[in-house]
Amino acid sequence: MTAPPALQDVYGVPIPPGRPLAQGRHADLLTLGEVRGQVAKVYLAPPPPAQAQKVEELVKVPPHPDVARRLVWPLAALYGPNRQLAGLLLPLLPPQQFQGVRALLRADTRRRSFPEADWPFAVRVGRELALAFAELHAAGHHMGDVRPEHALVSDAGEVRLVGADDYALHLAGRDFAGPVASAEYLPPERQRVGSATGAGADAESDAFGLAVLLFELLLGRHPYAGIQARGAAPGPGEAIAAGLFVDAPQAGPGRRTAPGEWPFAALPPAVQALFVQAFAVPVVPRPSPETWAAALGALAAELVPCARRAGHWQVPGLPCPSCAAEREGPAPSSGEDVTARVQRLWNDVQRVVAPPPSPPVAPVIEAPPLPPLPLALPDKPRGLNHRQQLQLLTWTLRVAVLAALMLGVGLVQRSVLAGLVVPALIVFALTLGRRFAVDWDGLIDRYERWEHDLVRGLLPRRGPQQRYRRAVRRRRAEVKTELAARVAQREELRERYHVENAAALHLREQQALEQRRAHLLSLSAGGSLEALLGRWRERSRQDYLRQQQLSSSGVPGVGPRELGLAVAQGIRTALDVTAERVRALPAPLGRELLAWRRGLEDFFQFDPGAVPRAELNAVQQRGQQHLGDEIETFERAVHAYTNARWDRHEAEISRQLGVVEREIEQYKKALSELRAIKV
């Protein structure tokens, strides 16, 4: 996604493009660097003269008051080098709020993009879409190229029509046709002209495309997509041109809706009649957007929640479409008997009375304290202990040093020089000695280290006092370790109480049973039937795409020249359209081909009847056996739940806590006694 080298407005003021927002078939959507609330739609290739003239007239005319609310009208034209039309300036719709309506047309994309959307939401969006078409027609315009990319929807169900430069517009007294049209939404009369052109757009053409969009919104499938007679696999354009409406009252033999799709019978008769009128052959006047808006408003008021399944909706007196699709789907459900059996077991679970809330702190069973812990020390030796021996040797050494000094001074005083040496030392210390920095603290430290090493060396290392001292220290370490282990065990028991008390145990086992129940209700009796059907569905899809030949009349914007470019890259069928192959083609052509394949994939319907019966039977037998084993396991779990004693762990935890608490007190007292021993 790249922008032109330069963009400018009609006055030549440069408009710097920003980051990309989205890709379209013929243009990219970009933010603007310094402009908020607006975006740039930049064409991938210069538009032809007729289209460029339409865009020039489009930006000159302000939006009609009837379409100003639901139609995103261009603000100005954008130009590239040499004043060539390069795109449009549009108001910005917040991408966090608005998404393409295509995401609502199929169940899988609806769950991803609109997880909260239900059937009433789809009906409301359909009504808003019909009102938007009515406003567009009231302003004298037609969409012409009806397709999901031309409508955005918000999480609140608001609809905005976009891509006005592709519409069939009436501007300045002239009619401007759209550049292309999509075969999936073209009426039969325009299919004969060819879907590559936008000529022939009128209110009847829009009415047909709107009816197709509404059918997809309400039932999640294309009205012409289904199982055709004799294994035929027409594309959407061929099916529409041949009038192969699957739910037509006089549908031919062998034509039917694919299993697992929402049934046409779930719609009210009045809405069914409107669809039959819209897709009738021969063509009759089709319902107008105003008629659709009124009918869908009435349908939205009729919808009620399904009595069988939460989240499902239905019209009173008509089948629930979701339940009907589940019952008639290609993968059989677990069956009414299994559902009833599981529900009976669940009723037994719900009859169990929950225990009262447990105390926040685990109770401790009171018991007499334990006797004092044996210290297991050897007999204390007689005489001085280690500390007393250290003190005795230290003071003995100090007295000896002091006596030696005094003796030395006495000997010096008897000599002739004593009267001269001692006064000289005193005078030197008081006069010249002050000029020298003497580290008295260092001298004292060195003396103390010498004294300490000497005393330690004089003490006996293997005497009874030393052995007793080592035994006391070793016993202290053992008691500390045991005390820490008992404290950790107490915390572990308290945590275990929070998990295994009666209320917590009851809640946890009830939740486990609820998960098993949900698993059983959703479990297919076919076991791996979904995987088998998935393989055959993919095989059938590839066969269908292989049968769709690329032609200049089947893909919008593809003429003989573009067809030659595609064939040169090995693209002859829809199956050949891959991201790798279209990368070598011009961007507009590549995007048209990818959109063509995506539309065919959405149109494709899988027929489970193509799966060999022998494979289905084998898989279903294995699934039935697996389902029976799962139900038996669930029955045993329910029986254990209904006969459980929820306080079975509380008493044991309280007993163990009492033992641990007494042991902690015992070890604390022993440690205090050991610390009181002076060694």
pLDDT digits (tens, 9 = 90+) for 447-474: 777 877 777 676 666 667 777 878 888 9
| pLDDT at 648 > cutoff 90 | no
| The two structure tokens encoding residue 341 | 């059996």
Whole-prediction pTM: 0.66
Average pLDDT value for residue range 568-594: 92
| 337 or 140: which leads in pLDDT | 140
Q: What are the structure tokens assigned to 423, written together?
A: 């006064």
> Residue 296 and residue 287: Cα distance in Å, rounded?
12
pLDDT at 102: 93
Residue 637 token pair: 């779990």
The long-range contacts involving 109-114, CB below 8 angstroms and separated by at least 24 positions, are 110/220, 114/155
Q: What is the pLDDT of residue 471?
A: 86
CATH entry, 1-92, from 3.30.750.24, 3.30.200.20, 3.40.720.10, 3.40.50.720: 3.30.200.20
What are the residue ranges of CATH 1.10.510.10 in the chain? 94-327
**Pairwise CA distance, residues 32 & 88, whole Å:** 12
Determine how many CB atoms are found less than 10 A away from the CB of residue 491.
10
Q: How many CB atoms lie within 10 A of CB 346?
A: 18
Alpha carbons 650 and 194: distance in angstroms, whole number: 79
- CATH of 94-327 given 1.10.3720.10, 3.40.50.2300, 1.10.510.10, 3.40.50.10150: 1.10.510.10
Distances (CA, A) of 556 to 451, 544, 553: 104, 20, 7
What tokens appear for 272 in the block?
Answer: 């069914």
Q: Which residue is associated with the tokens 């095989």?
A: 539
Residue position matching structure tokens 């139609």: 71
For 480-508, the DSSP string reads HHHHHHHHHHHHHHHHHHHHHSHHHHHHH
Q: Which amino acid makes up residue 166?
A: D
- pLDDT-based confidence at residue 153 (cuts at 50, 70, 90): very high
Location of each CATH 3.30.200.20 domain in the chain: 1-92
> Amino acid identity, residue 460?
P
Mapping DSSP to helix (H, G, I), strand (E, B) and coil, where does residue 541 land?
Answer: helix
pLDDT at 105 over 80: yes
Q: For residue 112, what pLDDT is reported? A: 86
